[in-house]
Structure 1
Amino acid sequence: MDWWPDHVTCSREQCTRCHAGCRLLPAAQLLHFAKRLAPAKLRVAVVNHRGAARTPITSPRPYDSGFTEDFRTTVKHIRAANPHSKLVGIGYSMGANLLTKYIGEEGTKCMLACAVAVCCPFDVGVSSTAVNESNLLNNHVFQSMVMRILMRAIKWASHLPLDPTWSLDVERIKKATRLKELEKEIMVKICGNKDVDEYYDMASSTHHVDSIDIPFLAINSLDDRITPSIGIPTDKFKTNPNIALAL
């Protein structure tokens, strides 16, 4: 977790930013975001997922789209260090999915005062179908970039002992060329799902939107190729008075 400003304690309101997995957002964008908020008397904490931003990998369990415990622990840590500050959550892409899922899981116990989710893939299955389609963007930009980052993270974690109950096939993992193949060989087995569809359903934040109990704004684009609008639970935004959707 990175801070701006980096004081140990601070009376400012805290803005906790949970970005896309594996740090797909450029560092320059993160710094720009933090510096724009600092003059507004906001302190920014950027949550780096396991293995992201070249952080040391100390656990064999990798980042996954629906695992909210790391973020939950982070929020508790920030709250304990700054008990009198309001906490605001901002999530981007898969980070937005994780943030949304966490807020819904917490319900009335959520420690965040409010939150914003940008380009949230509420239905991970719909998003997976979109990014695994064979087209120019996926084949030559998105998939190659994501696979390069993930394979590098796997290499960094190769020194860690694996849980034998996961039954991971290391050779099949090394030969994977698409994100869905990695999720099938790694996440399905680690999370105990029967297949990738069950894993996607488990990881999706759409099931938790009804339980959001804080002011929550979702910002999505109707022509987003990564998070298609078909996956947005628009009906739920009409029934929960705490949430709003901007398209």
Structure 2
Amino acid sequence: MNDKFKVGTNPNKNRIKRSEFKAPFWAKNRHVQTLWPRFIQRRRPLALRMEKLQLPDSDEVSVVWGQPEVTQNSKGIAVIFHGLEGSVKSHYANDLMAELQSQGWQTVLMHFRGCGGEPNSTARAYHSGETEDASFFMEWLNKQFPDLPKVAIGFSLGANMLLKFLGESPKQRFLKAAVAVSTPFKLAECAESINQGFSKVYQSYLLKSMVKTLRSKMRVIDYKGLLTIDDKKAAKLANFKEFDQNVTAPLHGFADADDYYQRCSAIGFLKYIETPTLVLHSIDDPFMNEAVLPQEHELSEAVQLELSDTGGHVGFLQGTPWKPNIWFHKRISDFIAPFAINTSV
């Protein structure tokens, strides 16, 4: 591990710790770690039930519950927030929900606007700092199940959003604990890093999906006065920075991409968090670089950052090629266990 991020000698006083994760010999490469769980590893069986949640501006998001529902007899409710262009079908969401569901947690995922296979009905979309919808969702959830403890797990973009929410609302009453995995702590650095080398492959894959959704919505929603680009210009957006400059920023009230990055990066909110929070991150994450990592003085006493040298982006793959497993399933389960009730289900 880089000397800059070495842990101290007293693990009880250090907010940055060495992760226990060790990549197996066949999966030390960061791209193997990132791509294998997504494209090769078989998904765990998970039955789902979906419902629509109407937002204050009359738009809707889809909320997906793990099945069978064990809400009233569960250990608590585990809320999942997915990553950029993700959904309940994303490998990290599906398999973690299946794991926690098997342990007696009720799981639920909120799709961000326009995600999950259905475009939303307003020009507004989602982004790394969009906490209003998540806050409304958690308040709605709390009203339905006020006596059940709730924890939240965010991945990538959803991790940044979750950390921002916890930092801007330190006295929040919804969540007992939180976990953030593969967080893009500094959005500007991440936009620059993913636009270099092989990482451009990931950017191209995600950007294609983002532009496709935007162009589809442009055919049914009037964006005049909201965006300065039309369908043809949207099709030519070449990287995340261009998309955020021309779409994310103007749609959501930011002066430009840099303003969006500065105001929404999780790095500026970590020191305000009061909710017990575990942050899991790999230094070799191909979506970003070491420059995004927070220093100890940027973390509140409630935040524990666990760093590993390997693990890729939302990877943390262990086991053998014929029987792989995801390390963070157990780490997350262990971390949220003390916040559970009704542990005999």
The answer, yes or no, to whether TM exceeds 0.5 is: yes
Q: Give the direction of change, closer, same or farther, for the CA distance of 1:227–1:147 in structure 2 (3 Å limit).
A: same
1:125 aligns with 2:188: yes
Q: Distance in 1 between matches of 2:236 and 2:171?
A: 44
Aligned to 1:246: 306
Contact 1:11 1:85 (8 Å CA) reproduced: no
Higher alpha-carbon deviation: 68-77 or 149-158: 149-158
Pairwise mapping of residues 143-154 of structure 1 onto structure 2 (< 5 A)? 143-154=203-214
Question: Where does residue 129 of structure 2 map in the other structure?
Answer: 66
Whole-angstrom distance in 2 between the partners of 1:182 and 1:191: 13
Conservation of the 8 A alpha-carbon contact between 1:221 and 1:229: no
Cα distance in structure 2, aligned partners of 1:28 and 1:143: 18
Q: C-alpha displacement at 1:184, in angstroms? A: 0.9
Q: Which residue of 2 aligns with 1:221?
A: 282
Could you tell me how far apart the structure 1 residues matched to 2:137 and 2:73 are?
Answer: 18
Larger Rg: 2
Match of 1:16, SS state, is: strand
Unaligned runs of 5+ in 1: none
Q: Which residue of 1 aligns with 2:253?
A: 192
Change (3 A) 1:93 1:215: same
CA-CA distance at 1:168 after TM superposition: 2.9
* Cα distance in structure 1, aligned partners of 2:263 and 2:133: 17
CA distance in 1 between counterparts of 2:97 and 2:237 reads 36
In 2, the alpha carbon distance for the partners of 1:158 and 1:128 equals 25
Does the C-alpha gap of structure 1 residues 85 and 109 become closer, same or farther in structure 2, counting only changes over 3 Å? Answer: same
Report the count of equivalent residues: 243
Letter in 1 for 2:214: I
Match status 1:137 vs 2:169: no
Larger CA deviation: 115-124 vs 172-181: 172-181
- Identity between Structure 1 and Structure 2 (%): 23
Instruction: Give the residue type in structure 2 aligned to 1:198.
Output: D
Letter in 2 for 1:128: A
Counterpart in the other structure of 2:143: 80
**SS of residue in 2 equivalent to 1:198:** helix
The residue number in structure 2 matching 1:98 is 161
Q: Which is helix-richer, 1 or 2?
A: 1
Equivalent position of 2:263 in the other structure: 202
- Aligned amino acid, residue 161 of structure 1: I
Letter in 1 for 2:66: W
Which residue number corresponds to residue 22 of structure 1? 85
AA in 1 matched with 2:239: R
How many angstroms does 1:109 deviate by? 2.3
1:51 is matched by which residue type in structure 2?
G
Which of 66, 74, 83 is equivalent to 1:4?
66
- Superposition deviation, residue 27 in structure 1: 3.6
Q: Is the 8 A contact 1:22 1:149 kept in 2?
A: yes
8 Å contact 1:91–1:116 — kept in the other structure? yes
Matched, 1:211 2:272: yes
Q: What RMSD in Å do the two structures reach over aligned CA positions?
A: 2.1
For 1:20 and 1:70, how far apart are their aligned partners in 2? 15
d(CA) in 1 for partners of 2:119 and 2:198? Answer: 33
Q: CA deviation at 1:221?
A: 0.9
* Conserved 8 A contact 1:18-1:96: yes
SS of the residue 2:72 aligns to: coil
The alpha carbon displacement at 1:228 in A equals 2.1
1:35 and 2:95 aligned: no
- Looking at structure 1, the residues matched to 257 and 87 of structure 2 have their Cα atoms a distance apart, in angstroms, of 22
The secondary structure found in structure 2 opposite 1:157 is helix
Show the 5 A alignment for 1:40-51: 40-51=103-114
| Inter-CA distance 70–165: structure 2 relative to 1 (3 Å threshold) | same
- Using the size of structure 2 for normalisation, the TM-score is 0.66
- Offset from partner CA, 1:108-166 (integer Å, 9 cap, x none): 12411000001111111111111122x1231xx21221122112211332244346442
Native 8 Å contact 1:66 1:98 kept in 2:
yes
Cα distance in 1 between the residues matched to 2:259 and 2:198: 28
Q: Distance in 1 between matches of 2:87 and 2:97?
A: 17
Change (3 A) 1:237 1:202: closer
Provide the C-alpha distance between the structure 2 equivalents of 1:119 and 1:29, rounded to a whole number of angstroms: 11
Q: Gaps (5+ residues) in structure 2?
A: 1-62, 308-345
- Distance in 2 between the 1:84 and 1:219 partners? 28
Match of 2:215 in 1: 155
